[in-house]
């Protein structure tokens, strides 16, 4: 029996800044993790929320884990599964495993494909362009402002219901309070979810989602991605999505993940100051949003900047799960049904894959022998459903900003408490600055 070494945190280097642009793996730098892994191996024994846990990282570990999905549990009783079940119920796709997960994902996936995401391009482009013009009138906090803008665009395309700006704000209040709370200990999270403002925002959001589904099942047609899910022929042997599952799908299509998209945008705006900003502006001088329907081939510099932003500043570098059974993983014995913290983003900083991996350098993606694209969205059957949405909205929004605006950031984006009156409140991103119409003189 090969027992993994116990993790000693004093052998790791703490991150210097609590920020989306200072990559953190459980509070420590990726390069110090990789140094320790090189010395002791890719698996460590530790604790998570007072219970036994195993920490796993490296590209080879990622490859093995993505190819063996049935060895890992994402749903209950994993911490992530319990978290989603508390708010989303028993049949939300994110907290399912095995055949139930494969069924749900297969039925929902058409709404997240390239054709579905881009087919309302004119409406989305108009929302982004007009929204940025409205923001360019004084000081702003880029993260919540861009989150709301992306949510507004999703609600004229993925779910074409055109809610008011005030209701977008209410849905965003729910989403920003919901997802970041996954990092809280169980008791603190439950207390957070009992706060009156959160309860009111959640109830309003789900009343809205349920109303949409009821109308669609009664015959209302909007020609959007939700209709694709409802109208898609169900493959033989699968049961159709229930009303409650459609409600959860409406949530995914309306607002899920917009905070992460805004985090990627904030990191990019911070990172590309200087030379890369100038190169982007030259490339985007004749930008036409319709060109994005065929991918990034017409915008290699934009594609390189986004690839490097995903590599350096992935929004969710740690994926919690459970071991489904006792196993020997890469030579180390891991018991069944214990916490596993998968540091899937560590592979982004391996020097053998990316030279000077700790440096933001989009030029690595412009070389003829460029490396395999780093994936900030996980892998295997549990690959993030929203990856296609993010990889459309990030370049579209960033292109508009670089082409038409000058911006100033007071400092890097940082994580701050959502509520000073709640001890241990979940964090959100603050990115203060201003956006001004571009001077073309």
2 occurs within a structural domain: no
For 400, the token pair is 């508009």
Helix (H) or strand (E) run with residue 404 in it = helix 387-404
For 403, the token pair is 């082409």
| pLDDT value at residue 41 | 96
- Tens-place pLDDT, residues 382-438: 999 999 999 999 999 999 999 999 999 999 999 999 999 999 899 999 999 999 999
Let me know: does 19 contact 58? Beta carbons within 8 Å: no
Let me know: does 199 contact 191? Beta carbons within 8 Å: no
β partners of residue 332: 329
Range of the domain at 147: 9-437
Place of tokens 């028993």: 90
- The DSSP 8-state label assigned to residue 436 in this structure reads E
- The DSSP 8-state label assigned to residue 422 in this structure reads S
- The DSSP 8-state label assigned to residue 159 in this structure reads S
CA angle 16, 372, 380 (to 5 degrees): 85
Runs of H (alpha helix) within 26-120: 30-40, 59-66, 79-88, 98-108, 114-118
pTM passes above 0.75? yes
1 occurs within a structural domain: no
Whether the upstream peptide bond of residue 64 has omega within 30° of 0, thus cis, is no
- Tens-place pLDDT, residues 115-140: 999 989 999 999 999 999 999 988 99
Let me know: does 74 contact 81? Beta carbons within 8 Å: yes
Mean pLDDT value across residues 377-383: 92
Phi, psi at residue 241, to the nearest 5°? -65, 135
- Tens-place pLDDT, residues 242-251: 999 999 999 9
| pLDDT value at residue 76 | 79
229 occurs within a structural domain: yes
**Per-residue confidence at 441, pLDDT binned at 50, 70, 90?**
low
Q: What is the mean pLDDT of the chain?
A: 93
Q: Is the confidence at residue 1, as pLDDT, over 70? A: no
385 occurs within a structural domain: yes
3 occurs within a structural domain: no
| pLDDT value at residue 281 | 95
CA angle 342, 249, 239 (to 5 degrees): 100
β partners of residue 437: 405
Chain length of the chain = 441
| pLDDT value at residue 90 | 83
| pLDDT value at residue 339 | 95
Task: Quote the number of domains for the chain.
Answer: 1
As a dihedral over the C-alpha atoms of residue 352, residue 356, residue 358, residue 360, rounded to 10 degrees, the angle is: -120
- Tens-place pLDDT, residues 231-266: 988 999 999 999 999 999 999 999 999 999 999 999
Helix (H) or strand (E) run with residue 138 in it = strand 138-141
* 3 state DSSP class of 171: helix
- Tens-place pLDDT, residues 270-307: 999 888 999 999 999 989 999 998 889 999 999 999 99
4 occurs within a structural domain: no
The CATH number of whichever domain residue 347 belongs to comes to 1.10.630.10
| pLDDT value at residue 430 | 97
> Of the candidates 312, 322, 405, which has an alpha carbon nearest to the alpha carbon of residue 360?
312
Separation of alpha carbons 255 and 258, rounded Å: 6
Positive or negative CA dihedral for 205, 210, 211, 215? positive
Let me know: does 341 contact 279? Beta carbons within 8 Å: no
Non-local (6+) Cβ contacts of 15 within 8 A are: 22, 23, 24, 27, 28, 29
For 284, the token pair is 């985007």
| pLDDT value at residue 50 | 87
92 occurs within a structural domain: yes
* 3 state DSSP class of 413: coil
- The DSSP 8-state label assigned to residue 240 in this structure reads P
Non-local (6+) Cβ contacts of 377 within 8 A are: 383, 384, 386, 387, 390
> Of the candidates 305, 342, 264, which has an alpha carbon nearest to the alpha carbon of residue 21?
264
- Tens-place pLDDT, residues 41-83: 999 999 998 899 999 999 999 999 999 999 999 887 777 777 7
Let me know: does 249 contact 105? Beta carbons within 8 Å: no
Let me know: does 347 contact 311? Beta carbons within 8 Å: no
48 occurs within a structural domain: yes
**Beta strands at 339-343 and 51-57: parallel, antiparallel or unpaired:** parallel
- Percent of the residues in the chain that have a pLDDT greater than 90, as a whole number: 83
Indicate the angle between helix axes 142-154 and 387-404, nearest 10 degrees: 120
């Amino acid at each position: 029996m090969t027992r993994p070494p116990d993790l000693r945190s004093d052998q790791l280097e703490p991150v210097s800044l609590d920020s989306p642009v200072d990559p953190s793996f459980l509070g420590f730098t990726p390069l110090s993790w990789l140094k320790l892994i090189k010395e002791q191996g890719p698996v460590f024994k530790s604790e998570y929320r007072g219970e036994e846990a195993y920490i796993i990282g490296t590209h080879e570990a990622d490859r093995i884990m993505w190819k063996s999905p049935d060895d890992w549990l994402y749903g209950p009783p994993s911490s992530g599964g319990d978290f989603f079940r508390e708010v989303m119920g028993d049949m939300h796709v994110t907290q399912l495993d095995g055949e139930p997960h494969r069924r749900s994902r297969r039925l929902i996936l058409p709404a997240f494909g390239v054709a579905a995401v881009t087919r309302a391009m004119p409406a989305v482009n108009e929302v982004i362009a007009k929204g940025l013009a409205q923001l360019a009138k004084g000081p702003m906090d880029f993260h919540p402002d861009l989150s709301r803008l992306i949510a507004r665009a999703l609600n004229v395309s993925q779910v074409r219901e055109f809610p008011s700006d005030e209701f977008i704000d209410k849905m965003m209040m729910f989403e920003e309070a919901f997802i970041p709370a996954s990092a809280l200990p169980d008791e603190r999270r439950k207390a957070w979810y009992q706060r009156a403002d959160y309860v009111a925002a959640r109830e309003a959001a789900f009343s809205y989602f349920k109303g949409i589904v009821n109308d669609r099942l009664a015959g209302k047609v909007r020609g959007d991605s939700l209709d694709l899910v409802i109208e898609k022929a169900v493959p033989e042997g699968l049961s159709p999505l229930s009303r409650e599952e459609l409600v959860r799908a409406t949530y995914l299509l309306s607002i899920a993940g917009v905070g992460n998209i805004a985090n990627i945008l904030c990191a990019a705006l911070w990172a590309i100051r200087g030379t890369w900003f100038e190169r982007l502006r030259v490339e985007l001088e004749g930008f036409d949003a319709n060109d994005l329907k065929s991918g990034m081939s017409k915008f290699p510099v934009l594609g390189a900047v986004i690839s490097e932003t995903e590599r350096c500043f992935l929004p969710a570098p740690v994926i919690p799960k459970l071991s489904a059974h006792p196993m020997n993983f890469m030579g180390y014995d891991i018991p069944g049904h214990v916490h596993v913290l998968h540091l899937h983003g560590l592979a982004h900083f391996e020097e053998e894959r990316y030279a000077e991996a700790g440096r933001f350098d989009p030029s690595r993606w412009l070389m003829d022998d460029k490396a395999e694209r780093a994936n900030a969205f996980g892998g295997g059957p549990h690959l993030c459903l929203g990856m296609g949405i993010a990889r459309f909205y990030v370049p579209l929004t960033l292109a508009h900003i670089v082409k038409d605006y000058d911006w100033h950031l007071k400092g890097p984006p940082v994580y701050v408490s959502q509520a000073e009156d709640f001890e241990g409140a979940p964090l959100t991103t603050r990115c203060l600055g201003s956006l001004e119409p571009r001077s073309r003189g």
